[in-house]
């Protein structure tokens, strides 16, 4: 005798089919996360959830939007990143899990300054902060650090203000590579998730990023390294001797990104992400 499926089961199956046909990478997970968001029910208890009339329409509208490749985080209004939750939406780059490793590196470097016994707190600068994800992680995990962040795009800056506004971080609106002249030579850690996609890679970029993330956060010249070159010069200006810089890059830039720091930098090395793909470069100012 067949079991009668619950309303939630039917909805999840329908949504999963819709999202699969739309090419969404994780259709079942997204269907569940949207249902959990609409109903306020934990994912592990979704099969017992019941949707009232308005909720049912909201859920179906959100599934339809996700099928149009609107980012999941834009629909739920939040993105988890390491140990914090960020407010995100249209106009700001949605932080990716890969970037959590770079943020963790920045946390480790700031913590190392504290453990060195130096009386002054570590000074950390997050360039191209976007939603403020890396800066907020450092604030949360290294509360004694002096954290500075900058964003050029006004819409993205508004989201960063929401996430960093009451944290004590110094958030500025402006060009990341011209900012913080008042900090020249005093910074311990410079961290950056710059734009790094080559202009001719349009077709290879997922619709969620290509159509919804701000263009300033994506494209960076013919080889994708224009911003990285500016970052190299800016980090050299900002860092104290012995200070370190870390920057994310595309998985195809595991050799070309570190090459930007070849020459005057010490300890230049590349780091892989959890899928063992080249993901970020670090270097030390001698």
Q: Which residues are annotated as a binding site?
A: 151, 193-196
Annotated binding site for S-adenosyl-L-methionine: 151, 193
**Rounded Cα–Cα distance for residues 215 and 57 (Å):** 32
- Pinpoint the alpha helices (H) of 149-190: 154-164
Nearest CA to 255 out of 225, 235, 230 is that of 225
Annotated binding site for substrate: 193-196
Contacts of 274 (CB under 8 A, 6+ apart): 97, 98, 101
**For residue 121, what are its two tokens?**
């707190």
Say if residues 138 and 126 touch (Cβ distance below 8 Å).
Answer: yes
Burial grade of 187 (CB within 10 A; 0-12, 13-18, 19 or more): buried
Contacts of 145 (CB under 8 A, 6+ apart): 110, 114, 121, 122, 123, 124, 138, 139
Report helix, strand and coil shares of the chain as percent, to nearest 5: 45, 20, 35
**Rounded Cα–Cα distance for residues 246 and 179 (Å):** 17
**Rounded Cα–Cα distance for residues 130 and 195 (Å):** 11
Nearest CA to 86 out of 139, 28, 124, 20 is that of 139
Burial grade of 58 (CB within 10 A; 0-12, 13-18, 19 or more): middle
DSSP state, 145? S
């Amino acid at each position: 005798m067949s079991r009668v499926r619950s309303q939630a089961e039917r909805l999840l199956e329908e949504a999963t089919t819709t999202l699969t046909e739309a090419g969404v990478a994780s259709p079942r997970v997204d269907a569940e996360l949207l249902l959990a968001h609409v109903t306020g029910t934990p994912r592990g208890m979704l099969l017992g959830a019941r949707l009232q009339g308005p909720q049912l329409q909201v859920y179906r509208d959100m599934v339809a939007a996700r099928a149009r490749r609107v980012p999941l985080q834009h629909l739920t209004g939040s993105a988890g990143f390491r140990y914090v939750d960020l407010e995100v939406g249209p106009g700001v780059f949605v932080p990716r899990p890969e970037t959590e490793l770079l943020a963790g590196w920045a946390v480790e470097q700031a913590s190392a300054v504290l453990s060195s016994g130096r009386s002054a707190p570590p000074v950390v600068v997050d360039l191209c902060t976007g939603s403020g994800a890396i800066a907020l992680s450092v604030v949360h995990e290294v509360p004694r650090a002096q954290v500075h962040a900058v964003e050029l795009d006004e819409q993205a800056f508004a989201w960063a203000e929401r996430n960093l506004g009451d944290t004590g971080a110094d958030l500025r609106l402006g060009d990341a590579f011209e900012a913080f002249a008042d900090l020249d030579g005093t910074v311990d850690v410079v961290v950056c998730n710059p734009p790094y996609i080559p202009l001719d890679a349009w077709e290879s970029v997922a619709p969620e990023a290509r159509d919804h993330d701000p263009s300033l956060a994506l494209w960076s010249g013919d080889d994708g390294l224009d911003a990285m070159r500016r970052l190299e010069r800016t980090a050299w200006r900002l860092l104290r001797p012995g200070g370190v810089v870390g920057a994310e890059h595309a998985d195809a830039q595991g050799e070309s990104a570190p090459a930007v720091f070849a020459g005057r930098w010490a300890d230049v090395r590349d780091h892989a992400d959890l899928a063992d793909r080249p993901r970020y470069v670090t270097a030390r100012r001698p």
